Structure 1
Amino acid sequence: MKHILNSLFLVIILFTGCYKDKGNYDYQPINDITATVVKDTFHVGQFDTLRISPVITGRDTNRLSFEWRVYPVTDPANPLDPGRIEVISRNRCFNQPITLRPATNYYNLDFVAKDTVTGVSYFKHLYLQVTTAFQTGWMLLEQKQSNVDISFISPDYIAYNSVYSASNPTMPLPVTARQIISISTQSLIGTLNMVYFDGGGYTLDNTSLQVLADYTKLFYASPAKVQPYNMIKPSFYSYGPYALCGGKVYGLNGMFASKLFGAAFTQPDSLGYTAAPFAAGGSSFGAIFFDQAHYRFMYDGGGTSTSLKVFPQNNTMAYDLNNVPKTMLTMKVGLGWELLPTNWYAVFKNESDDSCFLYTLNANGDFNTFPVAAAQQPILNSPDVHRSPDYLFSSTVKQMYYAADNRLYVYDMAANQSRVIYQFANGENITALKMMNGVITLATWNGQPGGGTVYYLPIAATGDISENTYTQRVSGFEKIIALTYKVG
């Protein structure tokens, strides 16, 4: 038996000795790669071009492939998103605009060089901070030949054209886009930037103007008629802000209790209501609205109320709050401290002709000593007042500014007449205007491509344009149909 085992062991050794190993043991030398850059932290403005040229050394740098990886890239609509890794270039040198969302924190930026023979990857870890020029400044809604876009003017008067389309290349704005709004809601939802169009709208990121969500996502349930026109917080005493959408009024369910708008405010009576897209507010009645369908003012009573009410009949005031058979063109704050204005002004137009009227409300008033229906008068000696793209009111004197064609007017309420305070060249017509900190910012268009211009006109104590000239002028836009000042 022992002899047999020894024989088998000898046979195994012989076979093993004859076996030829056909494996590939042609080892490659280590291609130790080193990448060197001038610094490891980079700061770049969104949409500006970032250039990085790494110096690469190693045994063989010709057999490398490259990736530039950035992370975490998060979804702004999802606050719980941990972020993903995104490859933003496959070139050896980085040389392209940065479209990442601006942030106070740094992105991780990895330069990866992979040896295509050995499969080994070499990393250079960098940091990237993306800043923005769009934190504070004027947003401009431009009507172009085939689309609508949003441009921007920074506080130092630098123009950034077509910012919206650059941030949202796959989500062009509908040609029906008509309004842009930036509002500090003084609530849990913070600052809202929005663009409205027929049948909807978008909320926009505060630093990049990228679309965050559809307008309807601001509500617990989508409004019955999605036709947004305005959002306003008219008073320190009203919770707000109020969304004016499809002729209905919507409010947050508690200023610091919710981030979503609730159901439409309940109607004041069996007649129902169709709210004009404006609101006033004060200490006496909360928010005040106008029912365009039934030509009457309504109020919510302030606080957390979501029910609209009609004013009681009263024939001792300057006008009947329940009988104003005209079309409301605007309602804005006028005289008084910003947090507690004395007067709100409403401009109305006859439905049968172009005659206009000025109504004054004291939202801090009552029905006796300080009547809420404070005053009303026809607007006389004011050419084309009904055609103005907007109406602006002074907080210190009883004056209103409006525009028609190439002329800017000031309306003196006491004298009940208007005068031209600035005139542009024939054919350069005013298309939008706003007032802030004693300066009228307005847009004009001369009908030519690139013929849109924004002017800054300071107001003197008399109501005229200081020194009869503008202080700044920014040109090169298309037709600007709306503008709003955005604060980051």
Structure 2
Amino acid sequence: MKMRSNTLFYFFHMLVPVISLLSSGCYKDKGNYRYKNINEITIKGLDTVIQLLQGDSLQLSPDDIQGLLPGGTYTYHWRFGPVDAPAIADTGKEIASGKVLKTVLTQSPGTYTLEFFVRDETTGITSSWAINIVIYSKYRGLYLLETGSKGGDISFINLKDSSYHAQYTAFNGGALLQFPLRSLSGSYFEDNNKRQQYLFVFAGSDPVELYSEQPLKMGNLSKLFTPLPKDYAPVYFAATKQNAFCISNGLLYSSNNSVDATTLRFSSPYSGDYFLAPFLAIATNSGGALLTCYDEKNGRFLYAPFMRGELHAYSFDDGGAFNLDSIHQHCIFASSSSDDNSIWIMKDGTGNLYSYLIHSGATDASVVAGYNRIDPAKAPGLGTDSIMAASTSQPYLYYAAGNQLYMYDYTTNTAIPVYTFDIRETITAVMFSKANDVHNGDLLYAATYNGDKGKVYVFSADKDAGNIPVKSFDGFGRVISLFFK
């Protein structure tokens, strides 16, 4: 019985606090309280993305902030930091306090976050508006390689349409680029840096590498070779985010570390019996091939598989002109074109011209996307020189013939005149720039020379835009190569 008595005592002892809790839950709060509405602050009137050149001034003033109460106390702050910062409110640098922002952005090219904060000092509630700030290099734009009596120089037109002349000599102690002068070549990647990773001037016996931020000599292409080939004679360079390629003395070299310029190296060339033309078509949508190239020695197209080391001939034969292993023509131009294809302009021993449309990522019969024997009457002047540029969004090849600019449609195998320049002007270079983060439409650049001065014309490549230059720039020398940086 003693055990039972202790059990009952324990039961009632535990029941008392439970009853107390239940009773307090039923208690009605009859106190009087005063409530105040908290206004929600909404910020409007600011952009979400702003693009600027390094060193540009930025002035912002939000013209629509809703929810501010008359007589309220509010503070305003602007914070700036990297786009991948975890919390700009905590990690960003305050660059202004007040509703109006006036500042000069001198940060390195890249993408940043600018955030505007409004704080209600009475309630402690903060609202904010974030803006992506994209800062481009002051030296981003169109680069021009000019030739003179004593050597070469570089000028450029930046994104604000400001022209800068003789910039290579200005940045390199008056030195000129050495003869022979051939071309500008490099790579541009649309990433958070928004800048050029590589830019080479093919001048003299060893191409000159320029810094991405200014036309200052950084070094030479030869420094990327370990070891340097005894027959070093580079004629072509290109890079993607994963690969870099160089053609030297007809041999193909590759590196699979093109993103990091400090470790990019070329070593052994692809093996095989070949001598390449100075063109590559790098696949953008691969079905097994990394790129397409043309072997001038054996008159055939070759491709590089993803497993590096050896170039391969196409193993199928469709007969006639479609036997890519037996073309036996001379390549005068090649470039990426529309629909993941590349356009190749070839000339046979008697001067006849042919266009080949190659799907550079394929290794089977689908690699041949089109073929034409070009009728000179339907494409006047095509092939008289190699001043050509292919669109990557339309099936068009733009080319020069004297002072006449033509557009060759390789789906219909016909060309139409686009623009006739002054009779005293000769077209010396053309370049196509596809729509990107800077301009919405495709643009065609054409450089001319009248024997004394050079000019650069800009055309909209939209087929419905008409054939009138949208702008032009003058005061240059004889431009022989163009490159959009």
**Normalised TM-score (structure 1):** 0.65
CA distance in 2, matches of 1:325, 1:170: 46
How far apart are residue 161 of structure 1 and its match?
A: 0.6
Residue aligned with 1:206, SS: coil
Query: 1:103/1:207 Cα in 2 relative to 1: closer, same or farther (>3 Å)?
Result: farther
> Which of 373, 390, 400 in structure 1 is aligned with 2:397?
400
Residue aligned with 1:467, SS: coil
Residue aligned with 1:164, SS: helix
Could you tell me which runs of 5 or more consecutive residues in structure 1 were left unpaired when the two chains were aligned.
1-43, 46-101, 106-130
CA distance in 1, matches of 2:290, 2:397: 25
Contact 1:361 1:375 in 2 (8 A): yes
Matched, 1:220 2:234: no
> Which of 130, 140, 160 in structure 1 is aligned with 2:164?
160
Contact 1:409 1:420 in 2 (8 A): yes
- Aligned equivalent of 1:423: 420
Aligned length: 343
* Paired residue type of 1:259: T
- Aligned equivalent of 1:150: 154
Map 1:223-372 to 2 at 5 A. 223-233=229-239, 239-254=242-257, 259-268=263-272, 272-282=273-283, 283=286, 284-303=288-307, 305-315=308-318, 319-336=322-339, 341=340, 343-353=341-351, 355-368=352-365, 371-372=366-367
CA distance in 2, matches of 1:313, 1:197: 40
RMSD: 3.0
Contact 1:314 1:367 in 2 (8 A): no
* Paired residue type of 2:371: Q
* Paired residue type of 1:457: F
Q: For each residue in 1:82-110, what CA deviation from the matched residue of structure 2 results, as whole angstroms up to 9, or x when unmatched?
A: xxxxxxxxxxxxxxxxxxxx9849xxxxx
Map 1:46-57 to 2 at 5 A. none
* Paired residue type of 2:451: G
- Aligned equivalent of 2:215: 209
> Which of 428, 437, 444 in structure 2 is aligned with 1:440?
444
CA distance in 2, matches of 1:416, 1:314: 24
Contact 1:267 1:309 in 2 (8 A): no
* Paired residue type of 1:413: Y
- Aligned equivalent of 1:467: 466
Q: For each residue in 1:291-324, what CA deviation from the matched residue of structure 2 results, as whole angstroms up to 9, or x when unmatched?
A: 1111111122015x12222222423686111111
How far apart are residue 198 of structure 1 and its match?
A: 3.7
Q: For each residue in 1:36-91, what CA deviation from the matched residue of structure 2 results, as whole angstroms up to 9, or x when unmatched?
A: xxxxxxxx98xxxxxxxxxxxxxxxxxxxxxxxxxxxxxxxxxxxxxxxxxxxxxx
Query: 1:186/1:296 Cα in 2 relative to 1: closer, same or farther (>3 Å)?
Result: farther
Give the percent of matched residue pairs that are identical in Structure 1 and Structure 2. Answer: 23
* Paired residue type of 1:330: F
Query: 1:204/1:347 Cα in 2 relative to 1: closer, same or farther (>3 Å)?
Result: same
Map 1:131-150 to 2 at 5 A. 134-150=138-154
How far apart are residue 406 of structure 1 and its match?
A: 0.4
Q: For each residue in 1:148-202, what CA deviation from the matched residue of structure 2 results, as whole angstroms up to 9, or x when unmatched?
A: 1011111121111100001112642113121112313799x97011111242111
- Aligned equivalent of 2:372: 377
Residue aligned with 1:275, SS: coil
CA distance in 2, matches of 1:398, 1:480: 26
* Paired residue type of 2:171: S
How far apart are residue 468 of structure 1 and its match?
A: 2.8
CA distance in 1, matches of 2:149, 2:258: 42
Query: 1:442/1:415 Cα in 2 relative to 1: closer, same or farther (>3 Å)?
Result: same
Contact 2:239 2:245 in 1 (8 A): yes
How far apart are residue 251 of structure 1 and its match?
A: 0.8
Residue aligned with 1:263, SS: coil
CA distance in 1, matches of 2:168, 2:204: 18
- Aligned equivalent of 1:453: 455
Residue aligned with 1:208, SS: coil
Q: For each residue in 1:98-147, what CA deviation from the matched residue of structure 2 results, as whole angstroms up to 9, or x when unmatched?
A: xxxx9849xxxxxxxxxxxxxxxxxxxxxxxxx99743111111112222
Contact 1:439 1:459 in 2 (8 A): yes
- Aligned equivalent of 2:71: none
Contact 1:185 1:240 in 2 (8 A): no
- Aligned equivalent of 1:192: 198
Residue aligned with 2:343, SS: strand
Could you tell me which runs of 5 or more consecutive residues in structure 2 were left unpaired when the two chains were aligned.
1-53, 56-105, 110-134, 436-441
**Normalised TM-score (structure 2):** 0.65
Query: 1:133/1:395 Cα in 2 relative to 1: closer, same or farther (>3 Å)?
Result: closer
